[in-house]
Structure 1
Amino acid sequence: MTPRLRFLVFGCGAIGTYLGGSLAASGQQVVFLERASVAPAIREQGLRVQTRSVELRVASPTLVENIQQALELERYDAAILAVKSFDTLELLQSVRAVADRLPPLICFQNGVENEPLIADFLGEKRVIYGTVTTAIGRRGLGNVVVEKLRGIGVANSQERVPGLLDALNQAGLRAQSYSNGPAMKWSKMLTNLQANSSSAILDLTPGEIFAHPGLFRLEMRMLREALLVMRAQGIPVVDLPRTPVRAFTALVQAPAVLSQPLLRRALGAGRGGKMPSFHIDLHQGRGRSEVDYLNGAVVRFGLRFGVPTPVNQFLNETLLALSEGRLALETYARRPEEFLKAAPSD
C-alpha cells in the first residue's frame, strides 16, 4: 500500500498547485504555505488541476501564512519547493530560525544553483534534487492545466524519504528516480535555455527564432557553451522523463542543415503556441526575470571552470536590462538583424 505522507508545499504557483494539488487529491496530507495577500482567495475557491481526462479538485486546502503556523500543524516527511529562483534566498532567510525543524526539501526549481544554496542553510542531507518536465499552464490563482504530461525526476528519493516515489506516482505524477542530481538539473536547464531569452528580447515565438538562420546559429552557440561548461565539470547529459535530452544535444552539435529542421519541428511539438517563461515575465511587466539563474548560471560556472560563454553573457545582460527598465522593450522587438549585430561574433 502507498504510505500516507505529510507534505509542506511552499507556494501555490503553477508547479506548487500541480504537485501539491495532485498529492492532496490522491489522499496524501498536504499543507500549503502561501502569502497572506492570496491565501484567503485560495481557501475560498480551492485548488484545481485539469488533466486530459479529469479535473482534480481540492475544495478546502489547508493553507497557512507563515512557517510557524505550518510547523504547529504537522511534523512533515518532506517539503516541496517550487518558487521562482530569485525568491529562494528570501525564503531561506525567513525559515532560518526553524531550520532544524524543517523536513527534507525537494527542490523543483529551475536552474542549478538553488540546491547548493539550500544546503548552505539546511545541510546537504536535507536537500533533494527535483525537476518537472510535465508542461503546466496557469489558468488563474490555484488553477492549472496539464498541457503535456511527461513526468518528474527526483534524486535519491527512496534513501531520504521512504515511500516518496510511491506517493508521487500514486498521485499520477510519473516520478522517476535519478542517481545524479546535478546531471538531472543541468540537463533540464538545457531544455529551459532554448529560445527562452531570445524570445523575450525579440518578442518572437520560439518557432520564429528557430526558423531564422542567424538566430538559430546564435541559439546553437549558446547551447554549446552550456554543454562545454557541463563537460568541464564532468557532468553528463541525461534523459529526463519523456524528454530525450541526449538526442537533443546531439542535434545541437550537428550541422545546421540537419539540425535546424528537426529542432524546429521538435520545438513546435513540445511548446505548441505557448511562449517561454522569460517572455511571459518580461511582457507582463513583472520587473524580474529568472534569466540570471539560467544563462547567468552558465556564465558564472564558465568563469569558474575557464570556459568562455559570450553568448550566454550577452543574452543574460540584455534581458536583465530589459526587465529592469534600463533598456527599452522596443530596442530589439521583432528586429532580429539589429539584435544579431549587437551579439558576439563567431
Structure 2
Amino acid sequence: MGMNETNYIVHGAGAIGCVIAGRLASIERKVQLVARGPHLEALQSNGLEVLQDTKGHWDLKAESTPHRLDIDDRTVVLLTMKTDDTFAAIEEHSSLYADLPLVCCQNGISNEEWLAGKGYRTYGCTVMVGAEISRPGIVRHSGGYLLEVGAWPQGSDYVCNSLVNDLLRSEMNARVDERVAEGKWGKLIRNLANAYLALTDLSVQEASSDPVDRSFMADVNEEAADVLDAAKISIRMVGKRTLREQIARLREPGWWPPPGEVTDSTRSYPSTWQDLALERGKVEVDHFNGTIVRLGERHGVPTPLNRVLRDLCLDAAANLTPPGSENADSLRAAAL
C-alpha cells in the first residue's frame, strides 16, 4: 500500500460489502473485513470469491471485530451491515471509530441521521448494486455498479473524492454527490417495494412486468410523495423522471416484457426477500416503509399501504413465514 493510499475496513461484509471489497482489492487497495458466522469462517479459511458481474478471488484479513484489524490515520470505514445492526456495532466500537470517516453504504437514511446526531464523521453512499451470498465466502454480484458518495447531508471533501476515485479505478460507476441526502431519499422510495416483493414472492423482473403489481407500487409511492411534499423534503430519483413522473409511468396499462431473458442467474430479489427466505428473523422495512408512516403521522398524511407492508413484513420475519404469504388483493384488503 502506498504512503497516501486509503486503508479500507468494510464493517458488515455481507453481499454488498463483499462486492465493494472485492472491487477495491482488485486495484490493490488494503481492504479488511468485519463479518460474522459461517461467512466469516469461510472468509478466513478460503478467502473471498465474487462471481458474475464481479469476478475474482481475494485473501483479505477478516475478523469478528475491528479491534483485531490494522487501523491508522488513513482508515476509512465502509458500513455495509443491515441498519438494525449499525447502532449496537458503532456503540460497541465507539472509541475506535470516534475520529474515523464512516461511510454508510446502506439503504434508508436512519444510519446517517443517527451517526451525525452522535457527532461521528458521517458520509452517505447511495448504492445501486444487487448481490447475494450464494454460500459462505462466495458472493454473486447480480447487477448494478452505481455508487454516489457525499458528506452528510450535503457537501464533499477529500474522503469522498478519494473513495470515488478508487471505485472508478475498480470500474464501478461512482461519483461524488454534493447533495447525497436527496439521493438517499430517492433510493429509500425505491426500497418501499422491498416488502411487497418479499410478501408476494416476486422477483424485481416479475413485479415490473405485471400491471397489477405496478399499480400497487404506484399507490405505495404516491403515499410517500404526498408525505414528502408535506414534510418539504427534497429528493432525487435515479434516472431522469421525478417521483411523480415515475408514479405515472407505473400506472401505464399493459404487460411489460422484462429486458432480456429471466433465468435463475439473472432473476433479482431484494434483501428483504432474502431475509424472509433464509428465515433470518428480522427485516429492515421499518427504516423504509416505517419512515414514511412516521412522517405521515407527523404531518397528517395517511399511509395505509406503507403501514400494512411494514406491519405484515415485520410479522412474517418474526414468525419465520416464507415469501409468498400475500398478494396485491390481500394487502389492499388488510389496509382498509
* TM-score normalised to structure 2 length: 0.85
Q: 1:303-318 residue pairs with structure 2 within 5 A?
A: 303-318=297-312
Q: Equivalent residue for 1:152?
A: 147
* TM-score normalised to structure 1 length: 0.83
Q: Give the aligned residue type for 1:68.
A: H
When residues 228 and 260 of structure 1 are mapped into structure 2, their CA distance, relative to the original with a 3 A threshold, is farther
Task: Give the match's secondary structure for 1:333.
Answer: coil
Structure-1 separation of matches of 2:275 and 2:14: 14
Structure-2 separation of matches of 1:202 and 1:91: 32
Structure 2, gaps ≥5 residues long: none
Task: Give the match's secondary structure for 1:301.
Answer: helix
Is the deviation greater in 316-325 or in 146-155? Answer: 146-155
- The RMSD of aligned alpha carbons is 3.1
Q: Is the 8 A contact 1:237 1:246 kept in 2?
A: no
Q: Give the aligned residue type for 2:26.
A: A
Q: Give the aligned residue type for 1:275.
A: Y
Residue deviations 1:158-206, cap 9 Å, x none? 5141522211211222211111121111111122223x21222233445
Residue deviations 1:86-129, cap 9 Å, x none? 111111221123343x4111101111211011123343xx0011
Structure 2 residue 122 is the aligned partner of structure 1 residue 127: yes
Residue of structure 1 aligned with 2:104, choices 103, 107, 124: 107
> Which runs of 4 or more aligned residues in structure 1 lie more than 6 Å from their structure 2 counterparts after TM superposition?
266-269
When residues 39 and 206 of structure 1 are mapped into structure 2, their CA distance, relative to the original with a 3 A threshold, is closer
Residue deviations 1:204-231, cap 9 Å, x none? 4455555665544332111111122233
Q: Equivalent residue for 1:333?
A: 325
Residue deviations 1:256-306, cap 9 Å, x none? 3x26646x757998x953233222211221110111111111112222333
Q: Give the aligned residue type for 2:61.
A: T
Structure 2 residue 222 is the aligned partner of structure 1 residue 224: yes
Q: Equivalent residue for 2:68?
A: 69
Is the deviation greater in 8-17 or in 148-157? Answer: 148-157
Q: Give the aligned residue type for 2:334.
A: A
Task: Give the match's secondary structure for 2:50.
Answer: strand
Q: Equivalent residue for 1:15?
A: 16
Residue deviations 1:301-321, cap 9 Å, x none? 222333321210111111111
Q: Is the 8 A contact 1:5 1:167 kept in 2?
A: no
Number of matched residues? 329
Q: Is the 8 A contact 1:190 1:226 kept in 2?
A: yes
Structure 1, gaps ≥5 residues long: none
Considering fraction of residues, name the structure with more helix: 1
Structure 2 residue 115 is the aligned partner of structure 1 residue 118: yes
Q: Equivalent residue for 2:284?
A: 290
Q: Is the 8 A contact 1:8 1:76 kept in 2?
A: no
**How much does 1:51 deviate?**
4.6
Q: Is the 8 A contact 1:238 1:245 kept in 2?
A: no
